[in-house]
Amino acid sequence: MKLHELSPAPGSVTSRKRLGRGAGSGLGKTSGKGHKGQKARSGHGKGAYFEGGQLPLVRRIPKRGFTNIFKKEYALVNVSSLEAFDNGATVDVYDLMKMGLVKKPLDGLKVLGNGDITKKLTVKAAKFTGAAKEKIEAVGGKAEVV
């Protein structure tokens, strides 16, 4: 097979509609839109919730609750994931990002107590669960709140 022998699959490539190019083209005058009416006008696209003029369901149903704009969202990591680091290392959210254990720093790091740890680490995070702090300190490590 050579580059000049390549061609797209039959029927996969079609020429575009050239609108308003005379009556003989089949798409002249009204350009395939028919005569008058809502769909013949410019910008006729209806919104996702349009129900033919009836009050949309989204507006008929009452609103509930609210979104707290001050809510803090933490990057979560379990104690068992910290085993990936060397003994005596200092671990923070950016080290975890380099290892691929956390995607974004968000509002800080929260260490959860799931799993076990055997290495002595200094862990710097915004929050620790009680179990996580106990497990880190039980093996001689430090849990520092930053």
Region 45-69: mean pLDDT is: 92
Q: Which residues contact 134 (CB under 8 A, 6 or more apart)?
A: 113
Work out the average pLDDT over 17-33. Answer: 93
Report the C-alpha gap between 34 and 22 in whole angstroms: 15
pLDDT exceeds cutoff 90 at 139? yes
Kindly report, residue by residue over 76-114, the tens digit of the pLDDT: 999 999 999 999 999 999 999 999 999 999 999 999 999
Ordered by start, the domain boundaries in the chain are: 75-145
The percentage of the chain sitting over the pLDDT mark of 70, rounded to a whole number, equals: 100
Mean pLDDT on 48-72: 93
4-24 mean pLDDT: 94
Q: State residue 17's pLDDT score.
A: 93
The Cα–Cα gap between 108 and 110 comes to: 7
**Tokens standing for 19?**
């609108």
Closest alpha carbon to 113 in 88, 73, 143: 143
The per-residue pLDDT for 46 is: 87
Name the CATH topology of 75-145.
Ribosomal Protein L15; Chain: K; domain 2 (3.100.10)
The DSSP call for residue 95 is H
